[in-house]
Structure 1
Amino acid sequence: MTALIQSALVVGGGFSGMSAAIELRKRGIAVDLVEIDPHWRNYGAGISIGGPTLRAFRTLGILERFLDEGYACDGLDIFSASGVLLTQVATPRIAGDEVPGSGAVMRPVLARILADATRASGTDVRLGCTVTALDQDEQAATVDFSDGSQRRYDLVIGADGLYSQLRERLLPQAPKPRYSGQGVWRAVLPRLASVTRTMLWVGDHLKVGLNPVSQNEMYLFVNEDRPVNDFVPPEEFLPRLDALLAPFSAPPVQEARALLDEKSLVVFRPLEGLLVEQPWYCGRAVLIGDAVHATTPHLASGACIGIEDAIVLAQELEQAPSLAAALERFQQRRWERCRMVVENSMRLGEIEIHGGDKAEHMRIMHASFAALAQPI
């Protein structure tokens, strides 16, 4: 057991929060996790997974289950809207020689894998519960909960996402999420036999992708330039997505389009980003994941850097001479990597929106993937 802390509260039951609970429990720390959603749901279609994320899964102890329930592959192909191959991008096997360099999984499947590991770790999970007050002194943080209870902890970890309430409490001057000028459409479809790894088609102000999420399913995603972040009624999701795919004559895109129906779980969301300047902690409370660095999906690394936060925080709590030193070392180790992902992803979106330099776009992607392949 680490000498620095013996108890911790994790606020938020998303990927980052569950990862923090798992890693702290490995070190003998008593962990409570509170999640405001009483059903612990995870919405969305698929999520693309890169080599650094697979490496993090190995650290968490969930890699084998991901390989069983998700989909792993090597490389990606980029085409024109008509299907002409433009380039192929290698995905190095950084999680191990036997582990492919990329992949994808359904978001609810990954959430279930992590939730099972969190409960198995011995974490006390409390659903339908959140923080209503937080007071700190030199010895501990006193937390009041929405169920009327009160507990004291050595450390509070805020992993409550892009619209973090804990961030509002700890860092009221932090910036708000910023709309990127793009939105993403996603759907789940039966996997086409031709789709064995990530495939992208680039059109005018649109980018279409297909990615296997299991042996039987794939997910479709479309990045759309949207100057105005206006509301899209859910009943319009399916017809709007169908219309966006019409200009892409590439056969796999049209085959996927023909599979779209009311059961395709079509979702839409605007793409927003956030980067909070240091510090990411205040006293005995620290923020991780989307609460301090939310990214658009251009580098497929948002979940990755949040999970890495959890791993690095647990390491520093085990190694540092004091809690303050652990939190400072945590943010110093994470800042440059997370800044790079958020800012480079936003820049990639800007190039796509304004029809910018495609060579710059490719340079940013290659440089970003090379940086992410480095140890954390």
Structure 2
Amino acid sequence: MTQSTDPLRVLIVGAGFAGLTAAIECRKRGFKVILFEGNSSRRQLGDIISFGSNSGRIFCSWPGVEEKLDPLCHHSSGLDFRTYDDEFLTRQIWDSEKKYGKRFNGHRGEIHEVVWNHAIDVGVEIRLGCKVQEYFETESEAGVVVNGERIVGDVVLAGDGVRSLARTIVLGFEDKPKSSGYAVYRAWMNTETLKQNPLTAFLADPTQDQHIGWLGPDVHFLVATLQKGTACSWVLTHKDDADVEESWSAPGYVDEAIAAIPNWAPICHAIVRATPEHALVDWKLVFRDPLPTWISPKRRIALIGDAAHPFLPTSIQGASQSMEDGVTAAVCLELATKGDRGNVPEAIRAYEKIRYPRVLATQRTGVTNRDAWHKADFDYVRKNPESVKLPRQEWVLNFDCGKHAYDAYSETVESLKADPDWKPDPVL
């Protein structure tokens, strides 16, 4: 038994939602946490991001965070589905989800700032301008090399995104991304120009947030307004076979976005035309096959968030599952290392086994949701408009990842002892 009165040393790489959640939850449990972020400042980048009630309960568990997020977030009562020529199909009401908990949808940068500040408030040490150059591990420690300095901890949680360097030590080779066959034009803007056009003025209603989805053959266009009608975000998902090695995210151009919806309703063109070009991004949707494992050979380094499992946006669960990773990893480390720092490998294996099947199942929904819209037979859809509603499954949304980790930990550890050669089954 490796007993110590010193707190567990947790090194976390990447200050996205996976890394920040892991850092906050590890601090709650008394661990010493250092979070490394490669950028020299916290970036206010992005547009709309969605957190389901499964991750909303995590936000609500952090004192003061819910109250800070509320005024920033989208509060529509439902999502209106329309055809590409603006025929109303159906309305998906969100009220039925309230029994599961609270949803949070808003600007990625603004939500990130609230979570970032909370991490600092609870004592997370964030080191900016610290790009990890190397990961390493021994039987008793793990660490990173940052700006030439070798920093050692008991465990490393690598949330370094879709271009994760940590994947190399976990897999033993560098895996290349591939195109999903789709790209997204994304924008976040104020509504001043929308107010001036009779077609779009209703989107700036200060009393009611709007949420509309226009569907067409292999294209969908989602528009949301928030913050009392002063902000608008839209995403236009379309076929795209560009080489992902050329660009993952690039400046977007209004004329190119219009070209993706040539025969669509005038209102759709008006929204795109109202977008300042500096606010438009062309984002290539890269895809990676599910990894055969998320943990390193000596079980001292674990991948979390996009580093472990990139999601398609149509799952509406990528950020939520990243947060669930952070909570689960912290719970497993807490339960494994009470009085025995040597049990980190047990915690890391349990984290992977608890999380892997749920993440894989949730990843599948990104493909099925997208195909329900993009491959729809519109003659059938007009007769059966309910077919385009998002399947908001209870098993996804009504889930308390922390409670589940506590409940499942002992049984998971026993199953791993009984089957020491267990490996995940990465089959989508």
Fold shared per TM-score above 0.5: yes
Structure 2 partner of 1:117: 118
Please say if 1:43 is aligned against 2:54: no
Structure 1 residue 268, shift from structure 2 partner: 1.1
Tell me what 2:241 maps to: 227
The RMSD of aligned alpha carbons is: 3.0
Q: Deviations over 1:336-370 (max 9, x none)?
A: 221122222134445555557978x948941x633
User: Does 2:283 align with 1:269?
Assistant: yes
**1:50-129 aligned within 5 A:** 50-61=52-63, 62-91=65-94, 92-94=97-99, 96=101, 99=102, 102-129=103-130
Return 5+ residue gaps in structure 2 as ranges: 192-202, 338-342, 402-428
| d(CA) in 1 for partners of 2:15, 2:180 | 26
Q: 2:204 aligns with which of 158, 168, 193?
A: 193
Aligned residues of 2:219 and 2:239 also touching (Cα < 8 A): yes
Q: 1:276 to 1:72 in 2, by over 3 A?
A: farther
* Cα displacement string for residues 53-109 of structure 1 (whole angstroms, at most 9, x for unaligned residues): 32232134422211122223333221111222222223301564xx4xx45211111
User: Cα deviations across residues 172-210 of structure 1 (Å, max 9, x unaligned)?
Assistant: 347533321110111123342367242101012211111
The alignment partner of 1:72 has SS state of: coil
* Cα distance between partner residues in 2 of 1:256 and 1:41: 27
Displacement after TM superposition at 1:290 (Å):
0.4
Residues 16/298 of structure 1: CA separation in 2 closer, same or farther (3 Å cut): same
User: In the TM superposition, what is the alpha-carbon distance from 1:129 to its structure 2 partner?
Assistant: 1.0
Residue pairs, 1:129-144, within 5 angstroms: 129-144=130-145
**CA offsets, 1:114-163, max 9 Å, x none?**
211122121111111122333322332243221x3222201101000011
Letter in 1 for 2:345: A
Partners in 2 of 1:81 and 1:363 — Cα distance?
13
Match of 2:393 among 350, 353, 369: 369
Query: What does 1:141-160 align with in structure 2 at a 5 Å threshold?
Result: 141-146=142-147, 148-160=148-160
More strand by share: 1
CA distance in 2, matches of 1:286, 1:319: 17
* 1:293 shift after superposition: 0.6
The Cα of 1:276 is off from its aligned counterpart by 1.4
Gaps of 5+ in 1: none
Distance in structure 2 (CA, Å) of the matches to 1:187 and 1:363: 24
Contact 2:254 2:277 in 1 (8 A): yes
Distance 2:87 2:287 in 1: 32
Q: Which moves more between the two structures, 315-324 or 296-305? A: 315-324
Normalised to the residue count of structure 1, the TM-score between the two structures is 0.87
* Letter of the structure 2 residue corresponding to residue 140 of structure 1: E
1:11 aligns with 2:24: no
Native 8 Å contact 2:47 2:233 kept in 1: yes
The 1:175–1:181 alpha-carbon spacing in structure 2 relative to 1, beyond 3 Å, is same
Does residue 337 in structure 1 map to residue 353 in structure 2? no
Distance in 2 between residues matched to 1:236 and 1:329, nearest whole Å: 43
The alpha-carbon distance between structure 1 residues 57 and 197, as it changes in their structure 2 partners (threshold 3 A), is farther
Residue 327 (str. 1) matches residue 352 (str. 2): no
Q: 1:310 aligns with which of 303, 326, 333?
A: 326
Q: How many residues align?
A: 367
CA contact (8 A) 2:253 2:277 kept: no
The CA distance in 2 between the partners of 1:81 and 1:331, in whole Å, is 42
Q: Does residue 264 of structure 2 align to residue 248 of structure 1?
A: yes
Equivalent-residue separation in structure 2 for 1:344 and 1:254 (angstroms): 29
What's the offset of the Cα at 1:248? Answer: 2.5
C-alpha contact 1:281 1:327 (8 A) present in aligned 2: no
CA contact (8 A) 1:182 1:226 kept: yes
Code of the aligned partner of 2:256: R
Alpha-carbon distance between aligned partners in 2 of 1:44 and 1:155, rounded to the nearest angstrom: 30
Q: State the Cα distance separating 1:8 from its structure 2 match.
A: 0.6
Counterpart position of 1:346: 367
Contact 1:163–1:291 at 8 Å: present in 2 too?
yes
Q: Deviations 1:229-285 (Å, cap 9, x if unpaired)? A: 47589565222123435533164x34423422235x101111123321234344211
TM-score by length of 2: 0.77
SS of the residue corresponding to residue 284 of structure 2 reads: strand
More deviation, 253-262/79-88: 253-262
Contact 2:81 2:89 in 1 (8 A): yes
Of 279, 301, 310 in structure 2, the residue corresponding to residue 285 of structure 1 is 301
| Alpha carbons 2:179, 2:242 under 8 Å: kept | no
- Counterpart in the other structure of 2:424: none
Partners of 2:6 and 2:307 lie apart in 1 by: 24
CA distance in 2: counterparts of 1:281 and 1:42, whole angstroms: 32
Read off the aligned partner of 1:83 and give its amino acid letter.
D
Q: Distance in 2 between matches of 1:241 and 1:143?
A: 42
- Counterpart of 1:295 in structure 2 is 311
Which one-letter code corresponds to 1:93 in the other structure?
K
